[in-house]
Amino acid sequence: MSETAGGLRIRGLRVAFDGFVAVDGVDLDVAPGDIRFLIGPNGAGKTTLVDAVTGLVKATGSALFGEQELLGREVHRIARLGVGRTFQTAALFEELTVLQNLDIAAGAGRSPWTMLRRRGAVPDDVAYALETIGLADRRDVLAGTLAHGQKQWLEIGMLLVQNARLLLLDEPVAGMSHEEREATGELLGKVAGERTVVVIEHDMDFLRRFARTVTVLHAGKVLSEGTVAQVQADPKVQEVYLGHATGEPAAQGAEA
Ligand SMILES: Nc1ncnc2c1ncn2[C@@H]1O[C@H](COP(=O)(O)OP(=O)(O)OP(=O)(O)O)[C@@H](O)[C@H]1O
């Protein structure tokens, strides 16, 4: 398992579903420690790209994490290489406590002997994750009783204890309050650096606040890439979003 942040280098990524090409020859470089936002209209291929990188759908081309090729490997092997993801709905054990959820996630990468030795005490990595996600004082409450935002943070904590070095987060602030969004942005800032983070996001205010670099996908291809300001000023991006019912974003951002 990699102990340092690796970069993600995708070349010629292609995913087809029964002849429909959802991801169509994508090249994407995410530098080690970066926070890359992946945006684009509905159906652009964002989730499918993440599914391909994490082994959930078959893809051709190449996706290197550090030195390791991810394509063609099974989901659990990709996870063991340090690649972790969240989904749009949090996948937690709601009837277990925050601490138990983290313990189980940590256990996935530990031997039974290590688990036995550590029983009773809170292992350092779990304590670190609790602190990082801001749930140290909620460690003994049932995950099911957490606020929506806290559930997402717990999921990120579970990736931290699994020692994920590449985190792929699918719309982490969907449905969150303003305060929760701010806290999530700060959490991403803490998590990146030692780790590489890719965020699929529709929320343009959140993107403007917290993205370092942005890639815009459209119809399975990379439409634009750069800093937030560069992408927002790109006429191609404005056109795609202006022609799209939900797409306030780039048009508003053009003044930036
Ligand atoms: N399992 C599947 N079988 C067939 N088509 C699929 C499958 N998964 C995704 N697609 C299609 O691939 C395209 C890309 O979908 P994807 O979910 O990756 O888009 P997205 O950019 O994540 O969109 P959204 O923002 O709505 O989540 C869509 O047209 C979608 O209908």
Give the residue, out of 48, 89, 218, with the most ligand 1 atoms within 8 A of its beta carbon, to mutate for a pocket test: 48
pLDDT digits (tens, 9 = 90+) for 5-20: 689 999 999 999 999 9
Residue with tokens 């343009």: 204
Q: How far is the CA of 38 from the centre of ligand 1 (A)?
A: 14
- What average pLDDT does the segment 189-218 reach? 92
* Sequence ranges of the domains in the chain: 1-82+202-256
* pLDDT given at position 157: 96
pLDDT digits (tens, 9 = 90+) for 111-161: 555 555 455 678 889 999 999 999 999 999 999 999 989 999 999 999 999
pLDDT digits (tens, 9 = 90+) for 234-244: 999 988 876 54
- CATH architecture, range 1-82+202-256: 3-Layer(aba) Sandwich (3.40)
CA distances from 117 to 105, 106, 111, 113, 163 (A): 17, 14, 10, 6, 19
* pLDDT given at position 23: 98
- What average pLDDT does the segment 34-63 reach? 95
Q: How far is the CA of 22 from the centre of ligand 1 (A)?
A: 7
Q: How far is the CA of 204 from the centre of ligand 1 (A)?
A: 20
- What average pLDDT does the segment 205-227 reach? 93
Shortest-distance atom of ligand 1 to CA 202: 25
Residue 94 has pLDDT above 70, yes or no: yes
CA distances from 4 to 8, 32, 37, 217 (A): 13, 9, 21, 28
Reported ipTM: the value is: 0.96
Alpha-carbon gap, residue 123 to 235, rounded angstroms: 51
In short, whether 215's Cβ falls inside 6 Å of ligand 1 is: no
* pLDDT given at position 253: 35
